[in-house]
Amino acid sequence: MTLLVVTALATGCTAGEHDRHGPGLLNAPEARALDAYATRLGARYAERAVAAKRWALGRVPPVPPSAPARKPPITFRKGFEVEGGKDLPPVFTTVPTRNKIVFLTVDEGTEKDPEFLRMMSELKVPYSAFLSDDLINDDYDYFRRMRDLGVTLNNDTLHTPYLPGMPYEEQRQEICGMQDVMAREFGRRPTLFRPPNGVYDADTLRAAKSCGIRYAPIWNEEVFADHWEYREWDHRLHPGDIVLAHLRGGPDGQGTTTDAIRRFLDRATDEGYAVARLEDYL
């Protein structure tokens, strides 16, 4: 594109000259528009490069493609179905796509580090948060700041219990109760719900549906400050994978959330993956 702009500008083609010489050359207004676009792209890359250096990343994370106009069909991951689950929120770990993109999600909320918000804002990396009230109710303002930076806040129950061990009505209270908190504190009821620790039963999903939930994404990889954990045998990222990180510091000082995100971004970038926004594909 840049070469095309330079060529068009160098020739100084008018609209009539463009017609005579064929579609390969641009007229001056078109050339100026493309040159301005290329300049904006260059400035954005430079800004991301500065941020990548500031946050000690190995390389600049690539920009994801535009959100698809037609959303991919989301169904239960094979082996994760529940009885009677056809009309229930699907549990999935990967979004169907051929693009080399992955989705970053964070949960819990015990660590409320402003440096994490700054890092993600400066790098312009999208992510989705799944929140539990017992871990965030000491500082709702932190998550309001996260919301105001464009992050979608989702439901991870009131108290992160082991849901399959609870009766339906108690599960429903955990999920619907968190919907009420989200509406009161952040202005909207989420349509995404993550069962704590990724465990659930049919009652969990029936309760979630009754609370307005449409999807129940879990994860295919989990990243910590000092290691990765995998669901698949090949220990690799795959197009459309959902990756989980935690808003908490590591045990015994084993790193912070920003350390885990740095590990995630370096790995994704090295393997040629961009980070896309999960909600854009649902």
Q: Which long-range contacts (CB under 8 A, 24 or more apart) does 181-190 make?
A: 181/133, 181/137, 182/131, 182/153, 182/155, 185/140, 185/143, 185/144, 186/140, 186/143, 186/144, 186/147, 186/153, 187/147, 188/153, 190/152, 190/153, 190/154, 190/155
**pLDDT-derived band at 249, boundaries 50, 70, 90:** low
DSSP secondary structure string, 250-265? Answer: PGGG---HHHHHHHHH
Is residue 56 one of the residues assigned to a domain? no
Q: What is the mean pLDDT of residues 93-114?
A: 95
**pLDDT-derived band at 194, boundaries 50, 70, 90:** very high
Is residue 134 one of the residues assigned to a domain? yes
28 and 136 co-located in one domain: no
- Strand ranges in 38-190 using DSSP code E only, listed in sequence order: 91-92, 101-108, 128-131, 152-155
218 and 248 co-located in one domain: yes
Report the pLDDT value the prediction gives residue 1, as an integer from 0 to 100: 41
CATH number at residue 134: 3.20.20.370
Under DSSP, is residue 6 helix (H, G, I), strand (E, B) or coil?
Answer: helix
Is residue 95 one of the residues assigned to a domain? yes
- Quote the CA–CA distance of 278 and 7 in Å, as a whole number: 39
85 and 219 co-located in one domain: yes
Report the pLDDT value the prediction gives residue 129, as an integer from 0 to 100: 98
231 and 273 co-located in one domain: yes
**pLDDT-derived band at 32, boundaries 50, 70, 90:** confident
**In which domain, by residue range, is 78 found?**
64-281
96 and 216 co-located in one domain: yes
- Quote the CA–CA distance of 19 and 158 in Å, as a whole number: 66
43 and 72 co-located in one domain: no
Judged by average pLDDT, the poorest of 13-27, 53-67, 191-205 is: 13-27
Q: What is the mean pLDDT of residues 202-209?
A: 98
When divided into structural domains, the chain yields a total of 2
- Quote the CA–CA distance of 154 and 171 in Å, as a whole number: 17
Q: What is the mean pLDDT of residues 20-46?
A: 70
> The whole model's pTM is what?
0.86
What is the rounded average pLDDT for all residues in the chain?
89
104 and 198 co-located in one domain: yes
Q: What is the mean pLDDT of residues 244-263?
A: 83
* pLDDT higher than threshold 90 for residue 208: yes
Report the pLDDT value the prediction gives residue 19, as an integer from 0 to 100: 46
Which tokens in the block code for residue 133? 């009230």
- Quote the CA–CA distance of 191 and 179 in Å, as a whole number: 9
**pLDDT-derived band at 109, boundaries 50, 70, 90:** confident
Is residue 57 one of the residues assigned to a domain? no
35 and 111 co-located in one domain: no
- Quote the CA–CA distance of 61 and 43 in Å, as a whole number: 15
**pLDDT-derived band at 13, boundaries 50, 70, 90:** very low
